Structure 1
């Protein structure tokens, strides 16, 4: 299923205080066998040497469009802004990219040659091990599924060689996700109110509910430079956002009343178990998260109008 390579492709990169990772990521884009038509970089008020890295690439092989935000918009706000810029500039496809991944040289060429509206590059670590955590099943119908992600690429297949040429996904990460502008026409932009975490899940759920299918493409290789370690951070400020945004997804998209009530159960269990787990910070986070999520039940307007 090929033939879309004549369409323009813009890359959106969001970065915050990871200049050295950003440099490697931009080098990877510059080495692509299919040149991106524009690269929109949203710098979330970085205080390190991010500006110097971006200045080195200006006038080079990449058609950079840099926005230095005066405030940290979070990943969600950065992707909202960058995708909006690329969309309003008329690009056909927008490839969303974090600053800690490096695409294989033919990654963009592989994706740009596909006709599907929603595509995902498949991630591996620096040792070549499959680390693609996109969900094959994201269950918002079963109240007994405490974690809605009940199957993912990494654990279901184990290696890239075991993957079919394409695999259907039920959620994505904004690390190598390519979306056609007609999807944005239909569902709008990513929701910036998430700040970090689950903005990509929210976008994927909206796309699928609008009738679009999402495909992970085996031969589109993206190398993740850092380990996944967010699951161990539930007592920190990041944990607050992880709980809040997980609850928002249940409130907005739960397919029945028991699923929409599940955040209350999760919060109660975390609080009850906190003396045994030593998780006072996590217990405080989950209470604050539940309160905040109740105020985000209604999706804000993110339409293109």
Structure 2
């Protein structure tokens, strides 16, 4: 049985679309769907799930369809396949475009990572929050690590000051620039923020209708920062709601972050997404200054690390790769995605 493009069913108009973008993480998606199944998707506040398989090429789509059939989730979950791995924004936009064409358009769209497990009551908490706060266009959930520890962060927009602090890693500088740090530790109550993690982010339908879809020029990373900035510029509020809990296994869907034994080299798309963000929202001159601030700070840190014989926890070739992708001289770049690894690459 296949879910039709019009998801309306007797007694249940989908108020929420859950969009999950998969790339070779089918077992994690099944675990995520299993956690969503306990949220009573066909109840009064029902939701639908579209899993977008970004051309995994490893049988993920068939695996997911079989799991959905075996578990009896066909009434509320379905898989879409894309012809290419176009990145996080691209995959989410496939689901959002379809939902915006439904006769009964969902009230909100929940962008949810495949490497997440939804805790009980999260759907009701997020949907209820938007109902109580009409100017809230985006709300992010509280995040728990896979060891059960809370990860209580939302974010400020990046700046020249935050780039220097991020590079130099000196306690005195961090204290002096406390109000400019990107990562902002949040309290136990709901608060506004500049942007929230795209691992679990609910967007009101009207935001997409007003500001457009996510920018597919970002292959991965900075796309949620960009989207939240566009929403705030249009007058919408961005909130962090810790009452809704989602467990996130960091790095499982990207391989960039997480607790790896061997720290991988930072992929090209991370640098290019960062570059795109600064140039798009601040211009090339500001972007160049932000690059210089990070390069200066990071160079100081590397020298201090050697003198103090501190452990090297940086990705290999980080400084050289950063400089190679700098706003200072990199031309506009379109990601070429490696078919085997799924990572963007640059022809040097």
TM-score interval, smaller chain: 0.7 to 0.9
1:161-200 correspondence runs (5 A): 162-164=187-189, 166-200=190-224
Kindly indicate whether residue 12 of structure 2 is the aligned counterpart of residue 24 of structure 1. Answer: no
In structure 1, the partner of 2:174 is: none
Match among 278, 287, 292 for residue 250 of structure 1: 278
Contact 2:164 2:294 survives alignment (8 Å): no
Shift of 1:273: 8.6
1:233-286 CA distance string (max 9 Å, x none): 9973x4322222122222222389546532245357768998978977334422
- The structure whose Rg is larger is 2
SS of alignment partner, residue 24 of structure 2: coil
1:41-190 correspondence runs (5 A): 41-50=51-60, 51-58=62-69, 60-61=72-73, 62-89=75-102, 90-114=105-129, 115=131, 116-135=136-155, 137-140=156-159, 142=161, 145-147=164-166, 150-153=181-184, 156-157=185-186, 162-164=187-189, 166-190=190-214
SS of alignment partner, residue 91 of structure 2: helix
In the alignment, the residues of structure 2 paired with residue 171 and residue 294 of structure 1 have an alpha-carbon distance, to the nearest angstrom, of 28
Deviating more after overlay: 173-182 vs 79-88? 79-88
Pair 1:227–1:258, CA change in 2 (3 A)? closer
Contact 2:142 2:244 survives alignment (8 Å): yes
SS of alignment partner, residue 213 of structure 2: coil
In the alignment, the residues of structure 2 paired with residue 144 and residue 226 of structure 1 have an alpha-carbon distance, to the nearest angstrom, of 22
Contact 1:141 1:255 survives alignment (8 Å): no
Match among 37, 49, 61 for residue 39 of structure 1: 49
Contact 1:108 1:220 survives alignment (8 Å): yes
In structure 2, the partner of 1:239 is: 267
Pair 1:163–1:67, CA change in 2 (3 A)? same
Length-normalised TM-score, structure 1:
0.78
Pair 1:10–1:117, CA change in 2 (3 A)? same
1:10-32 CA distance string (max 9 Å, x none): 01000111121111011111111
Length-normalised TM-score, structure 2:
0.69
In structure 1, the partner of 2:237 is: 213
Pair 1:178–1:34, CA change in 2 (3 A)? same
In the alignment, the residues of structure 2 paired with residue 129 and residue 45 of structure 1 have an alpha-carbon distance, to the nearest angstrom, of 33
Match among 265, 286, 290 for residue 322 of structure 2: 286
SS of alignment partner, residue 138 of structure 1: coil
Contact 1:139 1:145 survives alignment (8 Å): no
Pair 1:186–1:131, CA change in 2 (3 A)? same
Task: Give the aligned length.
Answer: 282
